Amino acid sequence: MSALSRHRALTAIWGSPRGWRGTVSSVNHSDIGRRFILAAFAFFAIGGVLAMLIRAQLATPGSAFVGPEIYNQLFTMHGSIMMFLFAIPMFEGLALYLLPKMLGSRDMAFPRLSAYGWWCYVFGGSILIAALALGVAPDSGWFMYTPLSSKAYTPGINADVWLLGITFVEISAVSAAIEITVSILRLRAPGMRLDRMPLLAWYLLVTALMMVVAFPPLILGSILLEVERAFGWPFFDPLRGGSPLLWQHLFWLFGHPEVYIIFLPAAGVVSTVLPVMARTRILGYGWIVAALLALAFLSFGLWVHHMFTTGIPHMALGFFSAASALVAVPTALQIFAWIGTLWKGRPELKLPMLYLLGFFVIFVLGGLTGVMLAMVPFDWQAHDTHFVVAHLHYVLVGGFVFPMLAGAYYWLPHFTGRARIPLLGEAAFWLILIGFNLTFFLMHLTGLLGMPRRIYTYPSDMGWTWLNLLSSVGSFIMAFGFAMFAVDVALQIFLSRRARRNPWGAHTLEWAMPLPAPAYNFASQPRVADGEPLAADPDLPLRLARGEGYLAEIRHGWRETMAVDVTTGAVDHVIILPGNTRLPIITALATGCFFLALLFGFYWLAPLPLVAVTVLGWRWAWTLGWREEIGPVPIGAGETALTHREAAGAPGWWGSVFLLVADGTLLGSLLFGYAFLWVVAPNWPPPELIAAGLPQGAVAALAALAGTVLTRLAASAGVAGNNAASSRWASLAVGAQAVVIAALLWLGLAELPAPTGHAYAASSWAMIAYGVLHAFIALLCAAFIRARIASGHIRKGRVLETSVAQLFGDYAGLATWLILACVLAPLVLA
């Protein structure tokens, strides 16, 4: 087959239909990645306009430009948009677009999940923007502290918009995290060992793993606060045993790692672009990987430094202050590695390099003020002043926006297939750099002069006037810079000349393909023998186009890509990915209906979209797989491999593992909240504790154990080809999970106090609800196994579906036991 015929055939398989049909059904990673990036930039523009309005208001003392109500919405939405609708989705888009290309793969592990995440993001973001346009946007600050965000002080739907809209968007973040993790671990080119991976993949892997455990505490906090607002369960109300500090803990358990979740992908861009600009290899590959692992872990020990002024005892402050200072060490190690790389190489001052130099200056300054704020006595002085605003912008704009702009200019030829128009980008850079520093450097001074955050106006005799005016002027200069960047990109897309292949002379695999990238990425997948494949083999792109790599043969219209061993990169199996479908958008719409029903208070209606999501989820899983026996298939180079349905450790299993890690973190956060309230909250012990319930607890525990064992028996019988036994065990597992649900509900209804009376009862009920939900999911998994055996999809040697059902069965059993231990503990200890 000629290269051109292969290109046409592969495009027909991997491409998307033209027009709106393609828009709603495409699951291709390049399409979804591009959409994320464009939408994130659009949200960035909206957030930027809000920043302009904030600066217009603060430019002069006593300004009547906007009142306090609108101003509260402006700064809340500015922060929320930039954090949740710009930074995270922008990196997700970059990861979705680039990762398969850098890893030598044809797509991500779960294309439909990417598309579902995209639609959740765009629908959730639209809810927030619509609320802004209608004047009912969130107005309690981007961290939504209680009691300000509680029903008593925010009686309208403003806070609900944040809690529900952001949670909706977070579905996309968790989806992307699982998708990125599994794709990096399994979907690489054969031969790409972990120590041969591009550094960006390491950064994205660590970031994605951080997201898997960082987002659940916030999701839990949002659920609890929404339940408090909607039904009066007093998790955060100190009069009824709740604690506003619980919200702060849950929020910052997410919120501080979030800073590093935003920074690390951008640091990955620096580690990728900088060596190319310096025309050398990165210095200290292994040390950088070690540093980012250290950074990832340490970043989870800093959250309380956002709460230094809440009256926490000195010893606890000391723990977090020490950790906050310590985290500067791995960050500095990366900075030194980058400086060393520049020193070793022959740097060229091209536009991406300009942005990297800007990044160095700004981020280092932000890091230093971060170390200042990590010291408790200084933090007590500067807390909630504009000094903190200046610090966080130096870190986030310096640590994310500047590297991403470097990355944008570096990879734009890849997206557009076109070269840049000279000089406009340089002008934009200088406007952004000068405008940024004028805005935020001066803000350190206004902060040190005592100007608090989130005030809509100030008197003229405070000495802040000229600093604020200059800050506002600077912000408008910066806005002109960003507008010029947008114009530059538009000109490149629509007017510029075509770019040559690999215009930077880079050595990573994303440049081993025609520009713009075809839908299938590689006509055949490479075998990688070096960390910089194009340096080791400059003719690789040509040979791949000629079909001299893996999976050059086209069969059955399948979307095929290779899966490899996690560590060694040895060939493991062939993954057959699902094609274009409207299931993701339909499922996202149903999910959106659920959130809208809650937002508008139609609680009676909310179960309907939930049922729809369940049915669609079933359909989602059902449409995969096939009844026929396939066996090993040729993959090229005289080798054969099994397809993923017949091989152990398929992406579906890995994805389920990481989903359960996220789920387990949510349960852990709930148990932490329960323990925290017992130990710290006022008005404990509660007036009424659980007085009985051991029989119901025993029934639930035994049924949970039975459900776990029976699902395992069904799984092993199915893999062994004993369909009758497998079907029988699966039916019994369904029954056992139904008993768990009934026993848990019986325990709650018969023995627990009403959840509105005290945070103890509310927490206990929250745990019961968690257990019931997971028993129901395990029930569905067992029922699915039974149905798939009946339909002939599960047969001897097919391990994927049974192993996933087993995972969920095991998890449900474990969760039920943990929950029963916590709910019944007061009874047993009494």
Binding stretches for another protein (CB under 8 A): 185, 194-195, 286-287, 289-290, 293-294, 296-298, 300-301, 313-319, 321-323, 326, 330, 566-567, 676, 679-680
State the minimum distance, in angstroms, from the CB of residue 336 to another protein.
15
Q: Which is nearer to another protein, 319 or 602 (CB)?
A: 319
Q: Which amino acid is at 85?
A: L
Tokens 């593992």 belong to 657
Q: What are phi and psi of 553, to 5 degrees?
A: -75, 135
Tokens 């009985």 belong to 692
Q: How far is CA 314 from the centre of its chain?
A: 34
Q: Which is nearer to another protein, 297 or 776 (CB)?
A: 297
Asked if 430 contacts 482 with a C-beta cutoff of 8 angstroms, the reply is: no
Q: Which is nearer to another protein, 315 or 495 (CB)?
A: 315
Tokens 């861009």 belong to 269
Q: Which is nearer to another protein, 538 or 682 (CB)?
A: 682
**Tokens describing residue 711:** 């699902």
Q: Which amino acid is at 274?
A: L
State the minimum distance, in angstroms, from the CB of residue 532 to another protein.
16
Q: What are phi and psi of 778, to 5 degrees?
A: -65, -35
Q: Which is nearer to another protein, 4 or 315 (CB)?
A: 315
State the minimum distance, in angstroms, from the CB of residue 105 to another protein.
19
**Tokens describing residue 179:** 């998708």
Sequence-distant (6+) residues with CB within 8 A of 96 are: 29, 32, 33, 36, 108, 114, 176, 179, 180
Distance CA 31, CA 708 (A): 40
Q: Which is nearer to another protein, 160 or 179 (CB)?
A: 179
Distance CA 358, CA 639 (A): 49
Q: Which among 705, 715, 714, 716 has a CA at the least distance from the CA of 732?
A: 714
State the minimum distance, in angstroms, from the CB of residue 298 to another protein.
7
Asked if 715 contacts 727 with a C-beta cutoff of 8 angstroms, the reply is: no
State the minimum distance, in angstroms, from the CB of residue 512 to another protein.
24
Q: H-helix or E-strand containing 368?
A: helix 351-374
State the minimum distance, in angstroms, from the CB of residue 264 to another protein.
15
Distance CA 205, CA 507 (A): 20
Q: Which is nearer to another protein, 333 or 780 (CB)?
A: 333
CA distances from 527 to 499, 543, 549, 559, 567 (A): 27, 11, 7, 19, 15
Distance CA 693, CA 823 (A): 10
State the minimum distance, in angstroms, from the CB of residue 139 to another protein.
33
Q: Which is nearer to another protein, 68 or 318 (CB)?
A: 318
Distance CA 228, CA 240 (A): 12
Q: Which is nearer to another protein, 544 or 818 (CB)?
A: 818
State the minimum distance, in angstroms, from the CB of residue 550 to another protein.
23
Distance CA 643, CA 635 (A): 10
Q: Which is nearer to another protein, 194 or 705 (CB)?
A: 194
Q: Which is nearer to another protein, 304 or 633 (CB)?
A: 304
State the minimum distance, in angstroms, from the CB of residue 654 to another protein.
10
State the minimum distance, in angstroms, from the CB of residue 674 to another protein.
13
Q: With H, G, I as helix, E, B as strand and everything else as coil, classify residue 654.
A: helix
**Tokens describing residue 156:** 């309208």
State the minimum distance, in angstroms, from the CB of residue 316 to another protein.
6
Asked if 608 contacts 676 with a C-beta cutoff of 8 angstroms, the reply is: no
